[in-house]
Amino acid sequence: MKKNSILVALIGARMHYAVPTFLDKNSLLKFLYTDLYFNNSTINKIHKINPKIANKLSLRSNNEIEDKKIIPLSNFGLIYKIRKKLTKTFKLNLGVLWVWAGSNFNKKIISSLKRNNDLPEIIFGYNSASKELFQFAKENNIKTVLEQCSAPMIYENKIMSEEYLNFKDWEIDLFKNNLKSKKFIHREEEEWELADLIVVPSKYVKNALISSNVSESKIKIVPYGYNANLNNIKPNFIKKAKLNILFVGGLRLQKGIQYFYELSKKCSDQNFNFRAVGESYLNVNTIDHISKKLEIIGKVARDKMHEQYEWADILVVPSLSEGSATVIYESLSYGVPIICTKNSGSVIKDGEEGYIVEIRDVDTIIIKLKHLYNNQEKLTKLSENCLKTSLEYTVDNYGNKLISNIKNTFYKD
């Protein structure tokens, strides 16, 4: 593989630019095209005026990649930010927004590549934001890698349509409108066809793609990485009168907040405290209703999340569909055992770092919680296993496995 041969097209700062950062460390990054981005010089100038704003903008900055390799499409980024705000405010169709964003982002990158006449060997893109770019790649004999971050929308919609019927008054219409997103679904399908290699974070996503008629031969599992919080290791567990049970993620149906509430309701007279942390997409009446049984914290800044994991004895992830839930990697690194669904895309092993259950199976979660309450010494062993496992799923390991799969796919000889 030649040096500086891969172009990454990334809307947002996914995993704080983990893919382009790791490719650059290995002299493989040619360009990173992105939307809103602020170089270190700009961040430093803003910091002198308003440190709080500078800290927020630093989430769209990276001090490891050379500025000359980063091409921000700022005008597109600003328009996208405004449209996203309007979509959320007026509860419009997110799928329509994502199709517009992906298409326009791709077209601007293609225009830039044609102007500069400096093409890469490989284009690395993400689901729903790669179609036109991959079509351009095929016309120019460029190899394509797609990261499918989550299960296909057509697959998720089959699951979520039942939830919207059973809990129709729980959530604002923002995500329910995705059931109508036929253009988004077709866009994903075209990207799978155009991709030479599809990397996915979990077996769950792989199986979802196969059920959507994607060839298994082009799919490779590359679990995400998270740098372990070695300074926050939990001490040996001390028997407690009540165990603290934590939910982390957007308060919405797809994340399973309705089942976390059901769990808290069924265990309300027992030995557990329940807390939900995350931005709410629920209707006000729903929040008022569920807060009678569990503590609602709301959105917490990233640098404050350690306080939540330090409070928790067990993390419950009742998701209906994920790619591979980031909260599981975080929880592992804090030594907090996990009970999660099969559809959460987890890297844990059942009985080792916690337990894996079927979606919507609150009764089994209760059985596991009661077992751990009555055998609290087991939490110490589970916690130790979490910390060991977290060292297997670092950002470096993620990057190494990603590069290995790219090399094995395109450069076998």
pLDDT in tens, 251-306: 999 999 999 999 999 997 789 999 999 999 999 999 999 999 999 999 998 889 99
pTM exceeds 0.85 for this model: yes
For 283, phi and psi rounded to 5 degrees?
-70, 155
Q: How many helices (H) and strands (E) does the chain have?
A: 16, 13
Q: Where are the alpha helices (DSSP H) in 175-256?
A: 182-194, 203-211
Contact by Cβ (8 Å): 69, 24 = yes
Centroid of chain to Cα 136: 27
What pLDDT is recorded for position 104?
Answer: 98
Residue 111 in tokens: 């225009």
Query: What are the residues facing 341 on neighbouring strands?
Result: 357
Q: How far is 184 from 181, CA to CA, in rounded Å?
A: 5
Q: What pLDDT is recorded for position 399?
A: 95
Write out residues in the chain with pLDDT < 50, as ranges.
Answer: none
Go through the domains of the chain in sequence order and give each one's CATH number.
Answer: 6-225+395-410 (3.40.50.2000), 230-390 (3.40.50.2000)
| Helices (H), ranges, 31-73 | 40-49, 51-57
- How many of the other CB atoms lie within 10 Å of CB of 359? 16
How far is the C-alpha of 384 from the C-alpha of 163, rounded, in Å? 36
| Residues making up the chain, counted from first to last | 413
Which ranges constitute the DSSP H helices of 212-340? Answer: 257-266, 284-290, 305-311, 326-333
Nearest to 319 by CA among 255, 274, 379: 255
